[in-house]
Amino acid sequence: MLCGRLVRLTAQEPKELAEAVARWNADSEWWRLLSTEPSNLFSAKKIAEWFEKDQEKEPPPGYFFCMRSLEDDHLIGFIGLDGDIYAHGEAFVGIGIGERDFWSKGYGTDAMQVILRYAFCELNLRRVALTTFEYNPRAVRSYEKAGFMHEGRAREYLWREGRHWDLIFMGILREEWSARDTG
């Protein structure tokens, strides 16, 4: 269920993931592709505390995984679903590949396909949504490949490097995913 062609999704070990994230965070381009928050540097200890606190919450705030390459089990990033999931059956997906060597090689699209299967078959969700940034065309292409449809843009939402950028919304409905999966 959690294996794709290139990656498998595993549970997050707070310490291990925190160390990797602390390292990846130093790459501010990566941070700015991923997050709206101001680029920042946190210690691995602090990051591990956050992960641990989240894991203690009941009910869990979301479903978060590590991404590991199938070939050599290398920790390359993370992916997860969150939001007020249950009443409406919609979750937001977020993905980050910290290891630059694994960009643009299909790993992200593969992980996305795995998590969509998890969302629709294990969590029985009705739709999965995401937001991404106008200045990240690589991500937009990857999501289009995974089957997400464009749903609109919040205009001039981001302000970085002295100019404004749109926040792009995309979504995939269960029926759209089923059609792709079987077709």
Partner 1 sequence: MSIDTQLFEGKLIRLAPIDHEKDPEVESRWTHDLTLSRALSRKPAMPQSVVQIKKKYEAIEKEVEEAKNIFHFTIRSKEDGRLLGYIRIEGIEWNHGTGSLKLAIGDPAERGKGFGSEALQCMLQFAFNELNLHRMSAVVGEDTPGALRFFVKHGFVEEVRRRKALLRDGQVWDSIHLGILQREWLDLSKERVDHE
Residues in the site for partner 1, rule: CB under 8 A? 36-38, 84, 86-90, 126-127, 129, 149, 151-160, 164, 169, 171, 173
Distance (Å, whole) CA 13 – CA 55: 10
Smallest distance from the beta carbon of 68 to partner 1, in angstroms?
A: 31
Helix, strand, coil share (%) of the chain residues, nearest 5: 40, 30, 30
Question: Beta strand 90-97 with 127-133: parallel, antiparallel or unpaired?
Answer: parallel
Least Cβ distance, residue 117 to partner 1 (angstroms): 20
How many C-beta neighbours within 10 Å does residue 121 have? 13
Task: Extract the runs of DSSP E, i.e. beta strands, from 36-108.
Answer: 62-69, 75-82, 90-97
Q: Residue 59 or 72: which CB sits closer to partner 1?
A: 59
Nearer to partner 1, 40 or 182 (CB): 40
- Token representation of residue 7: 């990656």
As to burial, measured by CB atoms within 10 angstroms (0-12 exposed, 13-18 middle, 19+ buried), residue 131 is middle
Considering the complex, what minimum distance in angstroms separates the CB of residue 159 from partner 1? Answer: 5
Choose between 30 and 107: whose C-beta lies nearer to partner 1. Answer: 30
Smallest gap from Cβ 40 to partner 1, in A, equals 11
User: At closest approach, how far in Å is the CB of 67 from partner 1?
Assistant: 25
CA distance 140 to 131: 9
* Residue among 33 and 173 whose Cβ is closer to partner 1: 173
CA distance 167 to 127: 19
| Residue nearer to partner 1 on the CB measure, 9 or 93 | 93
Question: For residues 70 and 129, which CB has a smaller minimum distance to partner 1 in the complex?
Answer: 129
DSSP-derived secondary structure letter, 36: S
Least Å distance between CB 45 and partner 1? 22
